[in-house]
């Protein structure tokens, strides 16, 4: 077991036991939010044929050099219809947006710039070749436009459709168990007895797990009892991974750490991180297990910086196009922010854009138990160990999306 590891080392160690996964084929309409298992190539040219970007008339540009010219209308080009008649000099063909360009035509005049009289059209505005959308100008057949690891969000789903894919092979959602531990925890919405508090971490963790393209399997919180923990962990080890919260610090009642030490297999314990020092990673009967801190802010930030990269690496998410919870950015500090001795310091910051620059301030009390601070802020500093941030300085930060 390694103790007190830096974040980079923690990710490296966790990735030695990746999240296992398989794939499944889904119809496009069921694939929203899923992640592509393989890259997708286009089955067609896009556009399939030269077509008009405007409603108007397809004409020959050299006919329309002076305003007021009159042309004979020889037919109509409609979307989804028959091939339009070809045109020669002196002729025009009505055309709808997306309809094929008639043979012979080399420009389009917008309908607003024309006047029709029986089978004659007067051209009052410019004829533009730029109003023609050329065959394959967006994508050509065989072109790989969606790489493996792409998160299928609105635009990428539509592009898969454009490319002709009715079904896609996606990563089957790994099942990640979430277990809060602590005698004091009760479900929100129930009465609190003396000494009890509402359990909240599982809600944040389940939401983060789902946002990373996995299925969250929430389990009722377990009491601080070795027997209860053992039985519960055994029942959850059928999942692909387990996230616990609470019980991983130095205290006598930190039983997740104790049971993992005695009966599990710990790869590392404690990280050089503030907040979020106590986590452990290991396996319980072969199932990867992150023991996250109980303090609500700590469990969430450790998910962002440690668990999310582990999921992303394990499942082969594309660095730019895969599911993401946050983005690394440079921010200019508007006030002094203190760092932490020997630890990467993740202070909560509010990031806003101002005149092309991202500015960062802090607002509420930063205690690791204060969940309100995670809502009132939208970012975390990445202050290196032993480094304070000074007002006016540009530092690295995570922008929580
Ligand atoms: P622990 O790591 O178990 O010592 O817990 C640290 C602090 O976080 C304690 O104040 C706990 O009451 C609190 N805590 C632990 N788990 C949760 C949870 N699931 N929801 C809300 N607070 C929690
Ligand atoms: Mg506890």
Domain 24-45+139-171 sits in which CATH superfamily?
Answer: Molybdopterin biosynthesis moea protein, domain 2 (3.90.105.10)
Average pLDDT of the chain is 97
Q: What's the gap in Å between 259 CA and the centre of ligand 2?
A: 14
Environment of ion ligand 2 (residues, CB < 5 A): 182, 246-247, 294
Span from the CA of 219 to the centroid of ligand 1 (angstroms): 16
| pLDDT over 90 at 75, yes or no | yes
**Protein residue closest via CA to atom 23 of ligand 1:** 294
Q: How far apart are CA 326 and CA 304, in angstroms?
A: 8
Q: Quick one: average pLDDT of 358-362?
A: 96
Q: Which of 177, 178, 182 to mutate to test the pocket of ligand 1 (most atoms within 8 A of CB)?
A: 182
Quote the crossing angle between the two packed helices 255-263 and 226-236, to the nearest 10°: 70
Q: What are phi and psi of 88, to 5 degrees?
A: -125, 175
Record: fold of 51-133: Molybdopterin biosynthesis moeA protein; domain 3 (2.170.190)
User: Which is the closest atom of ligand 1 to the Cα of 251?
Assistant: 4
User: In a mutational test of the pocket of ligand 1, which residue from 187, 219, 295, 301 has the highest number of ligand atoms less than 8 Å from its CB?
Assistant: 295
141-175, pLDDT tens digit by residue?
999 999 999 999 999 999 999 999 999 999 999 99
Give the pLDDT of residue 252. Answer: 87
Tens of pLDDT, residue by residue over 182-198, are 999 999 999 999 999 99
Nearest to 362 by CA among 374, 349, 372, 371: 349
Domain 2-22+172-315: CATH superfamily, name plus number? MoaB/Mog-like domain (3.40.980.10)
Q: Is the model's pLDDT at 93 over the cut of 90?
A: yes
Nearest-5° Cα angle at 178, 176 to 180: 165
CB-based contact 71:92 (threshold 8 Å): yes
Q: Which atom of ligand 1 is nearest to the CA of 298?
A: 8
Annotated domain spans of the chain: 2-22+172-315, 24-45+139-171, 51-133, 326-400
Ligand 1: which residue has its CA nearest to atom 7? 295
Centre of ligand 1 to C-alpha 294, Å, is: 4
326-400 maps to CATH 2.40.340.10: yes
Q: Is the CB of 200 under 6 A from ligand 1?
A: yes
Which residues fall within 8 angstroms of residue 383, CB to CB, at 6 or more apart?
Answer: 337, 339, 340, 344, 345, 346, 347, 389, 395
Specify the pLDDT at position 94.
98
- Mean pLDDT value of segment 8-14: 98
Q: Residue 363's pLDDT band (boundaries 50, 70, 90)?
A: confident
The residues, any chain, with a CB within 8 Å of residue 165's CB and separated by 6 or more, are 28, 40, 43
pLDDT band at residue 69 under the 50/70/90 scheme: very high
Q: Tell me the two tokens of residue 156.
A: 């990428």
Q: What's the pLDDT score for residue 114?
A: 98
Q: Inform me whether the pLDDT recorded for 390 exceeds 80.
A: yes
How high is the pLDDT of residue 364? 77
Q: Is the CB of 246 under 6 A from ligand 1?
A: yes
Q: Is the pLDDT at 213 greater than 80, yes or no?
A: yes
Global pTM value: 0.93
Tokens of 310: 């582990």
Looking at 225-346, which runs of residues are DSSP E strands? 241-245, 265-271, 273-274, 280-284, 287-292, 326-333, 344-345
pLDDT tens digits along 282-307? 999 999 999 999 999 999 999 999 99
Predicted confidence at residue 366, as pLDDT, reads 85
**pLDDT tens-digit readout, 265-280:** 999 999 999 999 999 9
SS3 call for 312: helix
**Average pLDDT of span 321-334:** 97
Q: Indicate whether 23 pLDDT > 80.
A: yes
């Amino acid at each position: 077991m390694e103790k007190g590891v830096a974040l980079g080392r923690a990710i490296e160690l966790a990735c030695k036991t990746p999240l296992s996964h398989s794939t499944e084929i889904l119809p496009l309409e069921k694939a929203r939010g899923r992640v592509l298992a393989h890259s997708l190539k286009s089955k067609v040219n896009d556009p399939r044929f030269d077509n008009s970007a405007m409603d108007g008339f397809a004409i020959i540009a050299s006919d329309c050099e002076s305003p007021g010219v009159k042309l004979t209308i020889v037919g109509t080009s409609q979307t989804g219809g028959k091939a339009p008649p070809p045109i020669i000099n002196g002729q025009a063909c009505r055309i709808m947006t997306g309809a094929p360009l008639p043979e012979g035509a080399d420009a389009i005049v917008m309908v607003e710039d024309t006047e029709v009289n029986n089978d004659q059209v007067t051209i009052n505005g410019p004829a533009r070749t730029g109003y023609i959308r050329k065959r394959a100008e967006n994508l050509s057949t065989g072109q790989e436009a969606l790489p493996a690891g792409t998160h299928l969000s609105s635009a990428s789903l539509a592009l898969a459709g454009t490319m002709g894919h009715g079904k896609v092979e996606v990563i089957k959602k790994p099942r990640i168990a979430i277990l809060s531990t602590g005698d004091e925890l009760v479900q929100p919405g129930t009465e609190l007895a003396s000494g009890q508090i509402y359990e909240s971490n599982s809600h944040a963790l389940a939401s983060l797990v789902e946002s990373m393209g996995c299925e969250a399997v929430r389990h009722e919180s377990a009491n601080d009892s070795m027997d209860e923990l053992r039985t519960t962990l055994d029942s959850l080890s059928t999942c692909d991974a387990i996230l616990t919260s609470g019980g991983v610090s130095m205290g006598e009642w930190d039983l997740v750490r104790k049971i993992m030490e005695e009966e599990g297999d710990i790869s590392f314990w404690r990280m050089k991180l503030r907040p979020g020092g106590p986590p452990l990673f290991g396996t319980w009967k072969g199932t990867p297990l992150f023991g996250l801190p109980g303090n609500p802010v700590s469990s969430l930030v450790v998910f962002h910086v440690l668990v999310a990269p582990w999921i992303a690496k394990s499942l082969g998410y594309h660095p730019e196009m895969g599911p993401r919870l946050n983005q690394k950015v440079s921010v200019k500090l508007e006030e002094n922010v203190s760092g932490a001795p020997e630890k990467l310091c993740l202070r909560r910051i509010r990031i806003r854009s101002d005149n092309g620059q991202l500015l960062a301030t802090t607002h509420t009390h930063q205690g690791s138990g204060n969940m309100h601070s995670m809502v009132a802020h939208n970012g975390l500093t990445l202050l290196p160990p032993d480094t304070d941030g000074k007002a006016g300085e540009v530092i690295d930060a995570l922008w929580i999306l």
